[in-house]
Amino acid sequence: MQKYSKQTRVLLAVDCIIFGFDGDELKILLIKRAFNPEKGNWSLMGGFVQTDESVDQAANRILKDLTGIEGVYLEQLYTFGDPHRDPTERTASVCHFALVDLNKYEAQLSNDYHAEWFPLKRFPKLIFDHNDMVEMAKKRIRYKAAFHPILFELLPDKFTLPQLQNLYESVYNTTIDKRNFSKRVLATGLLIKLTEKDKTGSKRGAFFYRLNTQNYYAKFQAFLNFIPNPDTLRY
């Protein structure tokens, strides 16, 4: 096999940030690193890209191997390539983020790597530059969710408007006017109202809704802007 001469080897890795919503707050899934350096410390899900797979294939494989999770919303975020980011060997990492319904995948989690959910507002220090990856992913989600309905990936099949509002408030770390939010989200045509109610919070209860998947994909690039000026948000 012909190779490029006089070139230094650089390893290619992927790291996956998994965000989940439990109905109350946004969380992040972490594992304990199984080898040195930083063995036993908290880490994102990561591993090396094999010679016979694409970067996206590697991300899906690693996600399944380390957590048991598969078939979820997964998107490339950024390539981190600082020469000193990994003390062992020069390694570039293509970071991805995933959005999952935490309750749906809780039972799927593998115990081999001590995977554990932490609130996004307070999670332990991570290895290498993984904290920087998480901060960038938070900004990407907040910006993108203002224009596209990606946050529905974090919800169960049926949900209430209060739950949906709670999700947006958790992502943006803010308070949203209830009436205005309900009016705007219903105007999108993305929700189908069900006859069933959730009465866990009150006797009156709140109607369940489900996502109109046909409209979801048709309007993905033309979503109502819930957050008026995402460029001005302080993260």
Q: What is the pLDDT of residues 37-71, one digit of tens each?
A: 999 999 999 999 999 999 999 999 999 888 888 88
- CATH number for the segment(s) 11-145: 3.90.79.10
| Cα atoms in the Cβ-side hemisphere of radius 13 Å centred on 63 | 27
Class of domain 150-232: mainly alpha
| Residue 94 tokens, joined | 């293509």
- Give the type of residue at 25: E
HSE value, Cβ hemisphere, 13 Å, CA-based, for 106 = 11
| Integer Cα distance of 77 and 133 in angstroms | 9
Residue-wise burial string across 50-77, b where 16 or more C-beta atoms lie within 10 A, e elsewhere: eeeeeeeebbbbbbbebbbbeebebeeb
pLDDT digits (tens, 9 = 90+) for 98-118: 999 888 877 667 677 788 999
Q: From CA 208, how far away is CA 39, in angstroms rounded?
A: 45
For residue 100, the SS3 value is strand
- Which regions of the chain carry the CATH code 1.10.10.10? 150-232
Give the DSSP H or E segment for 162. helix 161-172
Give Cβ neighbours of residue 67 (< 8 Å, ≥ 6 apart). Answer: 18, 29, 31, 45, 108, 109, 110, 113, 115
Domain boundaries for CATH 3.90.79.10 within the chain: 11-145
136-186 pLDDT, tens per residue?
Answer: 999 999 988 887 888 999 999 999 999 999 999 889 888 888 888 888 888
